[in-house]
Structure 1
């Protein structure tokens, strides 16, 4: 029977209750069902044109009196995207029987953030980090920016960059400072708010005990005036100054720290690089494990609930009494399967690296990363005395002098003193860096003692050769350089900012390996925390990269005194 022409009017909405049983063409229940369909359609909102096209053939066949199975016909006529939308809506708990559309959620009024000067000088891109919320800059903030723009320090560079950003926003066509400057006009689409400048004097009601001429108090006065003027809209002061936030809260003003510079809220959640397999690992995965031998390594292909939690180059280990132990590294992840590769055992003396053997599980993991030519970037974290510098130097000397994989070792570090600065240092670049490289001298002394058969003259010649292959460089002169086939060690990396870390890592040319080491418990820079350190930033961003690896060293091996001091002090 040929299909009749589609009706001219928009198709009525079918009630979901009608899908429970097929319609009968000429019987009384069919007429009652059609009446129920019509009543349900009166309560239903109108369809979109696309949905109307989906419903039209079904409604047309029903009007002809032909007996049809409604669910089957709907699955045949309905386009897959429309069917997927209905199935997804039916699966939601909030889907009502009458299929009424839920109104869109209101996001509520946007906040007004008043930025302190230190936020702008800390992160010049902070203007674009507040999503749909608006930003307000008091006039005193612009004055302070102007006062810090001179010099070559990081703060001065950030102040100049912020000034250029403000100039670009104010210089856009049709820019009107009185109504606010849209923050997305310079290409930052994630910023949906506006930027407001203080264009008039605001009357504040701060206590008379606060000095009126101080810049911090003037900003607090602006926040208090804006809170009264824009009530009930929330006005929040954003400052990196702890005392500033405390004073604001004491005055009843909302204040918060700038959080967008933090990679992690808590250092406890930092990626460790190693994962202990559950006790029932072999019971759940043993039946589906595939294994094969390739050279000195054994490979395992596993599939199971542990796979989604794995990352490329992550170490896994299984230790249980009465069960075979497993120490491996994840080399491949595809869909729901992962490939594990067993490790080389550097705990044994036959695999000693420049006379150094590892003493615990994490050190063995680290040595496997340091000696792998396919891994270009390695990060090592751990407390004092866990062997970070010694292992990095030993593996570097082996690959430079024995394997000839790299031409030389380059060492650098952040020159941040623990106490007061002792002033300028005389000499060349390497001589100036000498006092900062005491860790290098100490570890080279340990490595030199491992060569006992060459005699005194042989050890002296070896020390001279080692010194000739190690270059000490300052971070201040790294901009624009490119390292080719070098083994680069960045010590005390916890004192680097994310921008400085990016500057150093991007110096790597073909054939270069970079090792970053640091202890996040010993940050000497006053403006960095565990969450905002450049080392934390690098560990988090390189997590899962096929040519990068990280391991957190857990146990100290320096001495029993150093281990006990790390625990109790």
Structure 2
């Protein structure tokens, strides 16, 4: 790209899927102008019906456009509507660009290599025409459709993905919840060291250079003879209070018959069983024990400790393969086929003594305190004293994640489980997933915890397949 091209003001042509994904994309381009082809408005009109997240976003986009066009003249529409005239969720003062619509036929035909009158080809023809009509601007097509971006690049049109919703540039930068302290940790932090015990728990107040980079509820560990496992409980200026983690790998401390098989699982149980943490997120590949640990901790706190009235389990109903169509029955019956992970783990947790009768009685007891709900009916609800497990959370958008978490009432704990490497929702990536968004936004809140599970513990076959397939 030449230096003159880089200095030109940009004219962004938005694809329909950008506005379906984020209605506020209209206000995300600051000083640059936005252009909406007529075919985009037609596609928005077709997608406005329904109760899906996409339909809601389309309706919100239409409301934004309607407000922007209120009381403006035809001349203003032709020249471009100022985008800073509308207030949304704050201020748009930094938005100085204009919104332009297609008001005349396309002046340039597509090459013969792209025949047909498809919406994508219409958008490409519009972008080519804009390059001729606005030589002083740098025309950029913004789309979440990879194939459309490829075709645009082939035709000489600058194309970009919509990246404003990215939480991180690289998913490898995502907060892991685990930090190994330096080998000389005690030497560096013993000058103002305080230690005490409360109700059998051991605490240390440390001051030193490492404390600045710690987060609340972060898991710390040190290897070697002086090794330890601890959790950050409080941060005050340059000092921090850490608590030695409970050892759940010891059978004496088993949680509903389950013991931690590795360091990360031990930290996970510490976070899940902490009543001061209202939000816990567990990331990990298949077989790392996310669902089993979460369910075991939930059963102990619901049935033994009576901290919660019941366990609610939910997940996004996005199929891995072909959709099997509509399912009969009530809400819970419709969700049952999606809850195979719950049933598999309940089978592990109900392996009690007493034969078939004892196992059946235990299963009936557990099922009476475990409810299965669909995410589709969460809006407007408030959950009081509930232990909510959100499985496959990587398939949620940030907006859906916010909708779910804001349902929590007093005494409710939400646990989000997922693997950002297995996203099934279209146009959602590792860096734009609602799970990534929640982990990043909650890491500074003292009542939340996060840990990334590393080692698979399902079986040697599953571990080998996860690593080699």
Normalized against structure 1, the TM-score is what? 0.78
Aligned with 2:349 (options 447, 455, 459) = 447
Aligned 1:58-77 pairs, distance under 5 A: none
> Does residue 341 of structure 1 match 2:243?
yes
Aligned 1:477-492 pairs, distance under 5 A: 477-492=377-392
CA distance in 1, matches of 2:214, 2:289: 26
Structure 1: gaps of 5 or more residues: 1-106
CA distance in 2, matches of 1:475, 1:430: 12
Matched with 1:79 is none
Deviation at 1:145, TM superposition (A): 1.7
Matched with 1:8 is none
Matched with 2:153 is 249
Deviations 1:206-236 (A, max 9, x none): 4233226222222222222222332242211
Deviation at 1:156, TM superposition (A): 2.4
CA distance in 2, matches of 1:345, 1:194: 60
Matched with 1:145 is 44
Aligned with 1:231 (options 135, 141, 144) = 135
> Does residue 125 of structure 1 match 2:56?
no
Contact 2:282 2:290 in 1 (8 A): yes
CA distance in 2, matches of 1:128, 1:172: 20
Aligned with 1:406 (options 303, 308, 320) = 308
Aligned with 1:496 (options 396, 400, 414) = 396
Aligned 1:160-309 pairs, distance under 5 A: 160-172=59-71, 176-187=76-87, 188-204=92-108, 206-211=110-115, 213-309=117-213
CA distance in 1, matches of 2:236, 2:71: 48
Deviation at 1:202, TM superposition (A): 3.9
Aligned with 1:388 (options 290, 302, 319) = 290
Which structure exhibits the higher relative contact order, with contacts defined as CA atoms closer than 8 Å and separated by 6 or more residues?
Answer: 2
Matched with 1:24 is none
Structure 2 counterpart SS, 1:306: helix
CA distance in 2, matches of 1:236, 1:354: 57
Runs of 4+ residues deviating >6 angstroms? none
Deviations 1:451-491 (A, max 9, x none): 32x45433332221111111111111111111111111111
Matched with 2:226 is 324
Matched with 2:3 is none
Deviation at 1:119, TM superposition (A): 1.0
> Does residue 544 of structure 1 match 2:447?
no
Structure 2 counterpart SS, 1:177: helix
Contact 1:128 1:190 in 2 (8 A): no
Structure 2 counterpart SS, 1:178: helix
Structure 2: gaps of 5 or more residues: 1-5
> Does residue 525 of structure 1 match 2:425?
yes
Contact 1:212 1:218 in 2 (8 A): no
Contact 1:333 1:339 in 2 (8 A): yes
CA distance in 1, matches of 2:116, 2:334: 46
Aligned 1:462-477 pairs, distance under 5 A: 462-477=362-377
CA distance in 2, matches of 1:128, 1:484: 37
CA distance in 1, matches of 2:389, 2:298: 9
Normalized against structure 2, the TM-score is what? 0.94
Deviation at 1:249, TM superposition (A): 0.9
Contact 2:282 2:450 in 1 (8 A): yes
Deviation at 1:190, TM superposition (A): 3.7
RMSD, aligned α-carbons: 1.8
Contact 1:272 1:551 in 2 (8 A): yes
CA distance in 1, matches of 2:296, 2:303: 11
Which has the greater radius of gyration? 1
Structure 2 counterpart SS, 1:373: coil
For these two proteins, the number of residue pairs brought into alignment is 459
Distance 1:460 1:150, change over 3 A: closer
Deviation at 1:109, TM superposition (A): 4.8
Deviation at 1:253, TM superposition (A): 1.2
